Amino acid sequence: MNNQYYLVNKKLLPDFIDEIIKIKEEIEEDGLSVSQACEKHNISRSTFYKYKDYVFKPIETKTTKAIISFRALNIKGVLSKVLTAFADANANIITLNQDMPIKDYAYITITIDISEINIEFDELLNTIKNLDNIKKVELIAFEG
């Protein structure tokens, strides 16, 4: 497969990308013509045709998983606080791996199911980052 895909926050994309997605939906769902939909959203047909095959709305799924790695001070109770933060957000732990501490740091990788979390995912990551003795939090992968 020669195509390469990236998951990109829409804040990095031009505003008209949202309009391209809306136009695609209106053509499919409402039966509008390309000309009608483009006119409605003030997008040129050439811009629509240039991007329409390369911009997609994420598919809604019941399961969304994320893999997060942490570097934490090797202090009793730190992992417990991380797990409590996940539980408070209604995230389900799928896997947990903690490597042997090196130079007073514990390295932890956790895979979580976030399909039923009760806060925004970014807020969950910030909660973890702000816990005492957590030195680094990194999103490794996101599926959903």
Residues 50-68 have pLDDT tens digits of 998 888 877 665 668 999 9
Q: Which of 96, 111, 102 is nearest to 74 (CA)?
A: 102
| Res 63: pLDDT | 64
Could you tell me the CA-to-CA distances from 46 to 43, 56, 66, 124 in Å, in that order?
8, 18, 37, 40
* Owner of token pair 């009793």: 76
Strand residue runs (E) in the chain: 65-73, 92-98, 105-113, 134-143
Instruction: Output the pTM of the full model.
Output: 0.58
Element (H, E) at 20: helix 16-29
More confidently predicted of 3 and 50? 50
Structure tokens at 100: 């042997």
